[in-house]
Structure 1
Amino acid sequence: MSSTTLAPPRSAVLRAAGLRHRPALLTLLAVMGVVSLALLLHGWYLHAGLDRTGAGSCDPATDACRVKFKQFLHQYADSVPMLTSVSYVLGGTFGAFLGGPLLAREFEHGTVRFAWTQGAGRSRWTAGGLVVGGAVLAGVSVPFGLLLRWWSVPSVMASGSFSPEAFVQLPPVLVGRVLVAFGVAALAGAVLRRTVIAVGLGLAVSVALPFLAYAVRSHYMAPVEEPVHTLAPLALDDRWVLSVWFSDPAGNRISESDFYNLGRDYANLQSLVSDGGYTMHQVYQPADRLWPFQWIEFGWTTLLAVALCAAAVWWVRRRAA
């Protein structure tokens, strides 16, 4: 009489993976909770400053509102620069710290062979851990991204929603960045079998990815070119200006430096553009493309993260011993 061992169902593998990695997941949630509390307190401080100076409720197109915002920046100058630096560090780091130990620690502790003999095989156990970890990261990154967006309102007011530091905080792009850091760290852990190195590589990628994405972001859609007959910033239009060039009254293209050499001061240059026959041409991405750009970047970063996790599963299946 022979017996065969049936592989456990997928739901059982996922539950087991959740239990196996529960300490790491709880630690992640605890750390994110502490960071979120700090952001809430600091965000309350910044928003109270916006209300106190009147910069948070005025029309940003008016000169009076610009004066109020400058007053806010003067009084809270020590806090505002932190918005930019934290934007590139927070988020992706959580993926690195969860993905690094996910496989590397089991290799370091020698528990992989025990896990691989539990009926599901090394591929399913590895994939189960990656699915659970990635799902938790994606789930908690959405509300965390909303919190980051609220916290960084002063930065958005100063430079617009398309600014690099503001763009990377919105939930779609943040989720993709977190998952890429998670995938890099998990793959590095499977290949190198060293937790510290895997986490370090994930951190490096989480910081570098926003800069790499910014280099290609303007090519997601063909930019728009439009003549503008004023040098004043379009405060109500949150467009992403890529470049500017000028033309003379005859329609000949001139460089930006040549145009500015024509005038003695801002008022004189403004008169050249408004009624002197000179035209400023803006090449830009319209403000209404913010969310399409968010979902485009979320798409390719998530696909990259899936490919990295698939590579980790393949390595464990074919190469790990």
Structure 2
Amino acid sequence: MIWLNWRQFRLQALAGAAGLALVAGYLLYLGMDIRDAHDAYRSRCTDAAGCAQAGSQFQGAYMNTLLIVAAGLGLVPVVIGAFWGAPLIARELELGTHRLVWNQSVTRRRWLIGRMAFVGLAAMVLTGLVALLFTWVASPYDQVAADRFGTIEFGARDIAPIGYAFLAFTLGTAVGLFVRRTLPAMAITGVVFLAVQFAVPNLVRPHLMPPEKVTVPMTAQAINQARNLGSFTGAPVVGGLQVPGAPDAWISETSPLRTADGRTLDESAFDRCFATPPKTGAGGTFGDTAVCLSALDLHVDLEYQPSGRYWHFQLAETGLYLVAGALLTVIALRRVRRA
């Protein structure tokens, strides 16, 4: 069984090894470059002002690069599911070669378990190595930016990608068993897993653990520390805030700007401060607008996860994907009896 699995899988394995070598070469180069820049940042961090400026420049130099790399690595499980999982059984059924295999002494279930275990383990090892390399690459940046909970960043680091790879592979295998044609199975697997990658960070991850809650007064200083103010719809919202005393916490939900009695700030009042605030000559990111809003005695309610829960979320989400993959494996084993 092992020799047969290797012969059938060797082209995909060689392609995966070649891709891993190319990715590893680039990540090693990027990792050394980031470490050199991090050393330069630390040499300039002699006081609070110097640290803030150097840290901002360091983050700005690598934020987009790491985000793009993380997004690219997030496609690795999609590729595994579509090109390794979907054709695993669908190709046998499409070509009719399953009749020869299933007339041997090995049962269908044992044959399927052998194939899935061999290729699935390879998928998890490949993805795990890539994730390990990227975690090493991004570690100096993460120490400064403290943004590992980001939608894209979280899924490319540490152990979570291993769970993604397992689910993508089992999803592709199960879809191939039901669809029985290779190309449609590949397409369906890719689309479904992309939808899963979008849904889980936005709809599931924030609810894996009960969040902490805090009310933050919207002083002029707090507003000026935000990343954005307002929205396309004109709603009185503020984004990119930090939890006081916990700048590396993951804010999962931010309320609109609220008045002292807990009501949402009227959009007309927000628009007046945003578009035509009284001239005070105040500095900062939002200047006079921040001063105008702070005079209204506003606050926002935040729901957040402390940074110390990062590994709890990694384990919980990885476990979620592993359980889902195990359920798909059971479905595949039941389906193969009637294929």
Shorter-chain TM-score bucket reads: 0.7 to 0.9
Consecutive unaligned residues of structure 1, counting only runs of 5 or more, are 1-12
In the superposition, relative to structure 1, how do residues 107 and 55 fare at CA in structure 2: closer, same or farther (>3 Å)?
farther
Please give the alpha-carbon distance, in whole angstroms, between the structure 2 residues aligned to 1:159 and 1:188: 38
2:100 maps to what in 1? 114
Instruction: Using the TM superposition, give the Cα deviation of residue 207 of structure 1 relative to its aligned residue in structure 2, in angstroms.
Output: 2.6
Distance 2:54 2:317 in 1: 35
Q: Contact between 2:176 and 2:182, CA under 8 Å: does it hold in 1?
A: yes
- The percent of aligned pairs where both chains have the same amino acid is 25
Q: Verify: 1:37 aligned to 2:46, yes or no.
A: no
CA contact (8 A) 1:177 1:206 kept: no
CA gap of 1:256–1:293, structure 2 versus 1, over 3 A, is farther
- Note closer, same or farther for the CA distance 1:81–1:257 as it changes in structure 2 (3 Å cut): farther
Cα deviation for residue 19 of structure 1 reads: 5.2
Inter-partner Cα distance in structure 2 for 1:246 and 1:211 = 27
| Contact 1:162-1:240 within 8 A present in 2 as well | yes
SS in 2 for 1:169: coil
- Aligned residue in 1 for 2:212: 224
CA contact (8 A) 1:24 1:98 kept: yes
State the match for 2:123 in structure 1. Answer: 137
RMSD: 3.6
**What is the CA–CA distance in structure 2 between the aligned matches of 1:307 and 1:56, rounded to whole Å?**
52
Distance in 1, Cα, partners of 2:307 & 2:63? 27
Q: 1:201 aligns with which of 183, 188, 194?
A: 188
Give per-residue Cα distances to partners, 1:270-290, cap 9 Å, x unaligned.
7987x9965543221222222
Deviates more, 1:262-271 or 1:235-244: 262-271
- Equivalent residues in 2 for 1:68-147, closer than 5 Å: 68-72=54-58, 79-80=65-66, 82-147=68-133
For 2:174, the equivalent position in structure 1 comes to 187
- Shift of residue 298, structure 1, vs aligned partner: 1.3
**CA separation of 1:220/1:210 partners in 2, compared to 1, >3 Å: closer, same or farther?**
same
Partner Cα separation in structure 2 for residue 37 and residue 267 of structure 1: 46
Letter in 1 for 2:168: A
Structure 1 letter corresponding to 2:254? S
* Residues 209 and 33 of structure 1, relative CA distance in 2, 3 Å threshold: farther
Unaligned residue ranges in structure 2 (runs of 5+): 226-241
CA distance in 2, matches of 1:296, 1:46: 30
CA distance in structure 2 between the partners assigned to 1:78 and 1:283 by the alignment: 26
Q: Could you tell me how far 1:153 is from its partner in structure 2?
A: 4.8
Once residues 25 and 272 of structure 1 are traced to their aligned partners in structure 2, the CA distance between those partners, rounded to angstroms, is 59
Residues 1:252 and 2:240 aligned together: no
- 2:292 counterpart of 1:309: no
* 8 Å contact kept, 2:148–2:154: yes
Q: Is the 8 A contact 1:93 1:203 kept in 2?
A: yes
Q: How far off its partner does 1:213 sit?
A: 0.3
TM-score w.r.t. length of structure 1: 0.77
- Give the match's secondary structure for 2:210: coil
TM-score normalized with structure 2 length: 0.74
- Residue 291 of structure 1: aligned partner: 311
More deviation, 253-262/128-137:
253-262
Corresponding residue for 1:25? 13
Q: Matched residues in 2 for 1:66 and 1:208: separation?
A: 38
**Rounded Cα–Cα distance in structure 1 between residues aligned with 2:31 and 2:37:** 10
Give the conservation status (yes or no) of the 8 Å contact 1:186–1:312.
yes
**Secondary structure in structure 2 of the residue aligned to 1:281:** strand
Tell me what 1:163 maps to.
Answer: 150
